[in-house]
């Protein structure tokens, strides 16, 4: 039965202590890209530690629908591929389920292919804007049709011309879609971003032999007449999943969590710096020799103070804002977040969803069209709250429940499976009731 048909509620009690060491699932952003790029390579790629979340499984299913040969055995995935020209027209639609990254990146890949496909998704993905990729791809010659730039989206592969794009909104998904389209375009494709976003696509492309320039002018990809080299990659833990444990430890002085082998790509670690400025003790031990830096993070709670976040902070910690809002309820002063309109077009409207859940638990939250403020510290109480079908909202509210005075019930909580299927098991292990 599809998950959406199962009304799964979870009740979380307050914790007397959060302590422990754990590993988190592999990084979702890296996994989508590694799978897609391996399918575009010529030869056999090996990916170790692919996460089991539904978003990544949606990318696996879409690539299989396009004819890719993916075999999973234990923690290892083998991909045998022969480049974009070997992609086959899928039978039926490609179901990207809840995953915006799957849909946007595949649109970039397929725009310059020799095949046609329709990409669709669940009700949440059908509400999310696709014009941000469709319009710049069309300027390269792409033939894409949709109703009001929402899924389902039909793409008819054609020859593309490289061009220079200036991103109107900071988005690694848009940047990546354009770079992937640039691989099969004639001439260079440049993406200029005013605010830097995660650079996993660029790192992997370089590791696979593509000429990707990072200049003051932006990221430039040139079409290569050589196919991408296959890759062997061990995916580090997802810092955006680790953020929930890191936030949990930071909630109370003396609580502590160690996250082993987590990705420490500098375009993804802003949350750790924000946490330090709120007063938490954060230690990072890492290596940066790999394609993707990785290491260990130890967080110990201290008294928290409010901080002010602007648009660049939001872009750098986009997936961690729900967890940060929970921390803000326990920080002294008013935490203000501005330039956060993008949060309204994620898997849910995350400003509204978090404001709703935290208010029901007694928090003082003020919503604005492109921002939110939380006044703390507040003693939270248990409540019935909603995930709004959004994995990160469900996990953030579960963390808030740890410091509520009575149990909190989260409706439709099993949506955590989108990125973190064993979240509630690990929550149990870390909390000592």
Residue 284, phi then psi, degrees to nearest 5: -125, 130
Size of the site for ligand S3P (CB under 6 A): 11
Question: Active-site residue among 95, 319, 349, 356?
Answer: 319
Q: Which is nearer to ligand S3P, 252 or 320 (CB)?
A: 320
- Looking at 45, 102, 113, 173, which residue binds ligand S3P (CB under 6 A)? 173
227 secondary structure, DSSP code = P
Q: How far is the CB of 433 from ligand S3P (least distance, A)?
A: 31
Does 319 participate in catalysis according to the annotation?
A: yes
| 2: exposed, middle or buried (Cβ count in 10 Å: 0-12, 13-18, 19+) | exposed
Q: Which is nearer to ligand S3P, 27 or 412 (CB)?
A: 27
Tokens coding 140: 């390269």
Q: How far is the CB of 302 from ligand S3P (least distance, A)?
A: 28
Burial 339-349 (b: 16+ CB within 10 A, else e): bbebbeebbbb
**Interaction pattern, residues 369-408, with ligand S3P; x per rule: CB under 6 A:** ----------------------------------------
Checking DSSP bridges between strand 160-161 and strand 143-147, what pairing results, if any? unpaired
The residues with which 386 forms a beta bridge, in sequence order, are 411
Q: How far is the CB of 197 from ligand S3P (least distance, A)?
A: 6
282 secondary structure, DSSP code = E
By CB under 6 A, residue 319 contacts ligand S3P: yes
Residue 1, C-beta contacts closer than 8 angstroms, at least 6 positions apart: none
By CB under 6 A, residue 153 contacts ligand S3P: no
Q: How far is the CB of 419 from ligand S3P (least distance, A)?
A: 8
Q: What is the largest CA-CA distance in the chain?
A: 62
**Looking only at residues 10 through 29 of this chain, which bind ligand S3P when binding is defined by CB under 6 A?**
29
By CB under 6 A, residue 171 contacts ligand S3P: yes
- 336 neighbors 379 (Cβ within 8 angstroms): no
Rounded distance, CA 406 to CA 12, Å?
A: 9
Using DSSP, state whether 200 is helix, strand or coil. Answer: helix
Q: How far is the CB of 100 from ligand S3P (least distance, A)?
A: 6
By CB under 6 A, residue 318 contacts ligand S3P: yes
By CB under 6 A, residue 101 contacts ligand S3P: yes
Strands of 232-313, DSSP E: 232-234, 256-263, 281-287, 294-300, 308-309
**Looking only at residues 403 through 432 of this chain, which bind ligand S3P when binding is defined by CB under 6 A?**
none
By CB under 6 A, residue 97 contacts ligand S3P: no
Query: What residues make contact with ligand S3P under the rule CB under 6 A?
Result: 29, 101, 171-173, 176, 197-198, 318-319, 342
Supply the residues annotated as catalytic: 319
């Amino acid at each position: 039965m599809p998950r959406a048909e199962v009304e799964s509620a979870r009740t979380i009690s307050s914790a007397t202590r959060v302590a422990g060491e754990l590993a988190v699932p592999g990084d979702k952003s890296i996994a989508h890209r590694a799978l897609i790029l391996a399918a575009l390579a010529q030869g056999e790629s090996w990916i170790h530690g692919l996460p089991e979340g539904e978003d990544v499984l949606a990318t696996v299913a879409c690539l299989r629908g396009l004819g890719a040969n993916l075999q999973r055995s234990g923690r290892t995935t083998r991909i045998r591929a022969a480049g974009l020209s070997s992609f086959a027209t899928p039978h039926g639609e490609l179901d990207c389920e809840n995953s915006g990254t799957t849909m946007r990146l595949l649109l970039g890949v397929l725009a310059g292919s020799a095949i046609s496909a329709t990409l669709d998704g669940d009700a949440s993905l059908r509400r999310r804007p696709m014009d941000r990729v469709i319009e710049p791809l069309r300027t390269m010659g792409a033939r894409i049709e949709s109703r009001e730039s929402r899924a389902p989206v039909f793409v008819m592969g054609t020859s593309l011309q490289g061009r220079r794009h200036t991103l109107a909104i900071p988005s690694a998904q848009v940047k990546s879609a354009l770079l992937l389209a640039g691989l099969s375009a004639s001439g260079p494709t440049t993406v200029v971003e005013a605010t830097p976003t995660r650079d996993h696509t660029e790192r992997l492309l370089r590791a696979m032999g593509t000429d990707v320039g990072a200049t003051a002018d932006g990221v430039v990809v040139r079409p290569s007449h050589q196919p991408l080299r296959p890759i062997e990659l061990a995916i580090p833990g997802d810092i955006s999943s680790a953020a929930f444990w890191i936030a949990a430890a930071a909630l109370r002085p003396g609580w502590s969590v160690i996250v082993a082998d987590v990705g420490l790509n500098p375009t993804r670690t802003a949350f750790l710096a924000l946490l330090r400025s709120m007063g938490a003790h954060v230690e990072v031990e890492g290596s940066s020799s790999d394609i993707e830096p990785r290491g260990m993070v130890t967080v110990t709670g201290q008294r928290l103070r409010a901080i002010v976040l602007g648009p660049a902070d939001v872009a750098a910690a986009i997936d961690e804002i729900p967890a940060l809002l929970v921390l803000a309820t326990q920080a002294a002063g008013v935490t203000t977040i501005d330039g956060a309109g993008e949060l309204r077009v994620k898997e849910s409207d995350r400003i509204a969803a978090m404001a709703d859940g935290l208010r029901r638990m007694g928090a003082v939250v003020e919503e604005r069209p492109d921002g939110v403020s939380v006044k703390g510290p507040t003693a939270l109480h248990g409540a019935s709250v909603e995930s709004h079908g959004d994995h990160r909202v469900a996990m953030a509210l579960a963390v808030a429940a740890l410091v509520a005075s009575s149990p909190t019930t989260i409706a439709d909580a099993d949506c955590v499976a989108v990125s973190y299927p064993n979240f509630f098991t690990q929550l149990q292990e870390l909390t000592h009731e």
